[in-house]
Every structure is written in C-alpha cells, then in structure tokens.
Amino acid sequence: MVYKSLVRPTLFRMHGGDAERVHETTLGILSKVAPLAGVVKRRPRLERTVFGVRFPNPVGLAAGLDKNGRALPAWGALGFGFVEVGTVTRHAQPGNPRPRLFRLRDSEAIVNRMGFNNDGALELANRLDRLGPLGVPLGISIGKSKVTPVEEAVEDYQASLRALYRHGDYFAVNISSPNTPGLRSLQDRGALTELLAGLNGTARDLAGSRPRKPILVKIAPDLTDEAIAEVLEVCAAHEVSGLIATNTTLSRDGLAPADQALAAEAGGLSGRPLAVRAREVVRFVSRETDGKLPIVGVGGIASADDAKAMLDAGASLLQLYTGFIYEGPGLVGRINRSLQR
C-alpha cells in the first residue's frame, strides 16, 4: 500500500517528527486541494437515515481532526459520509502548551492533550458562512471554554449553539474530553440534566416552527456501566437524539512495550488499544436502550473488520480519526466497499 510504505513514513518524519506540525501542514494541503474535490471519484453509496439526517454512507470523520473546518470540502471527496468539526468553544483559545500530541507507532495509537484549541464558535460560523453547502452532513462538536467556570457551563454551551445552529445538521455535546479541567464532571446526573435542559430550550427557540436539530452526547470510555446507565436515563428524559461512544481514554492498557515511555504523557489515548472498550460501551448502550438510541461508534476502527464489529455491536454510524492517520484515506473506501458487499 503506497500510503503505509511511502506517504506515512514521509509524513511522520516531517518537521522532525512533530505530530502537531505535520497535522497542520496536512490540513493546509487539503484546504488548497479542496476546490478539486468534485473530480475525485465517489465511493460506494450506502445511504441511511439516522436521527432524521440522511447520510450517503455511515463512515464519518471524527471531531478533532479538522477542528476549525479548514479543509471541509476535501473530506467528502475522500469518501466520508459525514464530517464532524470541533470541538469548538464559545471563546477562542490556544489550548494546552506544546508538545501535546504524541504518536505511539507500535500500538497505532495517539495520546493528545490538545485542550480544545480552536478559533471560537463565531469564527467557525463565519468560515461556514463563506463556504456554503458541503454535500455531506455536518456535525458540530461543542465544548466548554477553559476560562468558563463549570458552574457557568450551560450558558457557555448555549452561546456556541446559538452561533452555529444554522450550520449544523447535528450537534455533539462534548462532556468527556480529559483535557479540560472539570469537563468530565458534566457527565454527572445533576450537571448533565441542567446542561441538556438548557441546550434543548435554546435549540427549540432557534428552530422556531421547524423540528429541533439533533443533539447528541459524547461520553468517555472510562465510565462504569452504572455511570453510563445514569447518563442514558438523563438522555432519555431530555430527548437526546443519539450517543457518541467513545471519546479518548485515560487507560494505557494494551500498549506495545516500545510505547511505554510516551504512554506516560498526560492526555487521552485513541487508536487500536481503545477498540475493544469502545465496542463494549456501544454494546452496553445498545442493550440498555433496546437498540432504540442511535449510536455513533468511534474508537480503534482501523480496518473493515473493525468497522463491521462496531456496527454489529450496535452502532448506526462510524467515525474515524486515529485509524485514518495510520491507515490513510484508503481506509474509508475499504470500509464502505466491504459494507456494500
């Protein structure tokens, strides 16, 4: 495979191996080739409608890869059936100090402690205004600004929702990143109840006479089954449209010996070592909700077999991030062709 034998080694050596600088360079390249997106051959179509949104295929780009929507037209051209931008916050913020992104190559994993670095909700809205329709559904992941106290989180999320509501086909409420202090406490029953009630009210006001746009909740893989069940109860009470399972993990299980030194870096782990736990969470959520709550399965998907296993566990849609970094753009097509067969 050309990507793994030639392109990936070249990328991984760029900028002295600085993963974040390589990421930024790649996004810059993709943003420049985006006008040529229409000439790229389309992948097999596997249309499905989930939480009222029609997806041309179930393989999406996870939040975090194109936080600020710099290369949006390119993702559909690469075969993705939907794109999730963000996580974006009300206030623009630089994120945590660098270095904050680390490749664990032998494990095909990444550790990041980015800290929601982004240009802010209003700047993303302006970029989307200039861009126009994408041709594939757009999800927008919203999170809490670091400068905002946890007790003021509801207003912070509402401001982002108001700024971006006209652009998103669905909205993901990120309460599970390990890299913003206090954020994961929003998964607790009381805090989540208040947050979802506030967001639902804002969404209804913005929708007017139209149906409210779907709101999804993104959870951590580190929650116990009891904690996940509690989250599901709150989601049901507030008519959440779906769940994204899962975010990155604080666990360091399943890593190759050569990666143990980098594993000591603080941050969330993504990639192959997360695959089993992500599927366990998806399977648990599907069972607890009798398969009635749509699930976006994400975590450790690096092959067509991984994708099928996630769908078999109960996911309706899939998202890629780390697998895309290690396997390249061809992974999207391989998954979709496999699903078509």
CA distances to 41, 246, 263, 316 from 270, rounded to whole Å, are 30, 10, 11, 20
**How does DSSP classify residue 6?**
I
255 in Cβ contact with 109 (< 8 Å): yes
Q: Is 287 exposed, middle or buried (0-12, 13-18, 19+ CB in 10 A)?
A: exposed
DSSP string, 63-87: TTTTTT-TTHHHHHHTT-SEEEEEE
In the residue annotation, 338 being an active-site residue is answered as: no
pLDDT digits (tens, 9 = 90+) for 125-155: 999 999 988 899 999 999 999 999 999 999 9
Q: Is 297 or 133 the better-scoring residue by pLDDT? A: 297
- Mean pLDDT, to the nearest integer, of 160-183? 93
The verdict on whether omega for the bond into residue 44 sits within 30 degrees of 0, i.e. cis, is: no
**Among 107, 176, 177, 270, which one carries the catalytic annotation?**
177
pLDDT digits (tens, 9 = 90+) for 300-312: 999 999 999 999 9
What local confidence, expressed as pLDDT, does residue 249 receive?
Answer: 96
- Mean pLDDT, to the nearest integer, of 270-297? 97
Measured CA to CA, the distance from residue 264 to residue 14 in angstroms comes to 24
pLDDT digits (tens, 9 = 90+) for 61-98: 999 999 999 999 999 999 999 999 999 999 999 999 99
Of 269, 265, 224, nearest to 248 by C-alpha is 269
Tokens 């930024």 correspond to 24
- Mean pLDDT, to the nearest integer, of 222-251? 95
232 in Cβ contact with 276 (< 8 Å): no
Q: At 254, is the secondary structure helix, strand, or coil? A: coil
The upper half-sphere exposure of residue 315, i.e. CA atoms within 13 Å in the direction of its Cβ, equals: 25
- Mean pLDDT, to the nearest integer, of 310-323? 98
Helices then strands, each counted (H, E), the chain: 13, 13
The structural domains of the chain, ordered by start, are 2-35+45-340 (3.20.20.70)
pLDDT band at 35 (very low <50, low <70, confident <90, very high): low
Measured CA to CA, the distance from residue 52 to residue 211 in angstroms comes to 10
Structure tokens at 58: 């179930």
**Is residue 32 predicted with pLDDT exceeding 70?**
yes
> What does the mean pLDDT of the chain come to?
93
